[in-house]
Amino acid sequence: MSNLILIRHGQSVWNAANRFTGWTDVELSEVGVSEAEEAGRSLSSHRIDVVHTSDLIRAQKTAEIIMSLNESSEGYSTKFDWRLNERNYGSLQGLNKAETAEKFGAEQVHIWRRSFDVAPPDGESLEMTAERTIPYFEEEILPDLQAGKGVLVSAHGNSLRSIVMHIEGISPEDIVSLEIKTGSPMFYEFEDGEISSCLLYKSPSTRARTSSRRQSSA
């Protein structure tokens, strides 16, 4: 059996400022550093052999902090890949979310943020994000699990949302309502070719996610 831990980076300075971040490379806030430290302490007894993270510093720093507090891992490797980057918010990046809602209307901004297949101007939809994250999961993360390795994926709200959709078999209609908190680990088990549903994270929906299992692709 091997373990898969997914975590969204700790709060960034633009999360704190309520700005669309996307691919903009911003640092963790003080709160974000504390969230990463808390996650690191909670995961300190879990063996992690491989860390997968994005090209963005907030995810990389979160992983670095977590691993600095890990007491059960030695000689782990880290893989960096842009395919784990946050959804690209295009022309919205850097804009304040509340001010953008005032300018374009709350309903339009909600569509840009929470629809599956509608992209913001010059940006990516969640569907487009999944077109890069799911192949990465199948090509890079799954083989590590099949090899019996403990895996930590430190990434972003939408890149993780698309991966969760894939491994849990959640529909595109339902996945858009899944909230993934900053700095909150999601823990899965991989055994006999199957990935268990999340054990540490509770969804706001009524789905029972602690008992179902999904057959992974080889």
Distance between CA atoms of 41 and 37, rounded to whole angstroms?
A: 6
Asked if residue 69 lies in contact with residue 35, where contact means CB atoms within 8 angstroms, the answer is no
Distance between CA atoms of 215 and 180, rounded to whole angstroms?
A: 23
**Which amino acid, 106?**
A
86 classed as catalytic: yes
46 classed as catalytic: no
Please name the residue ranges forming H helices in 52-92.
57-68
In the chain, DSSP finds a helix count (H) and a strand count (E) of 9, 7
Catalytic position from the list 35, 52, 86, 168: 86
Distance between CA atoms of 176 and 115, rounded to whole angstroms?
A: 6
The residues annotated with a catalytic role in the active site are: 9, 86
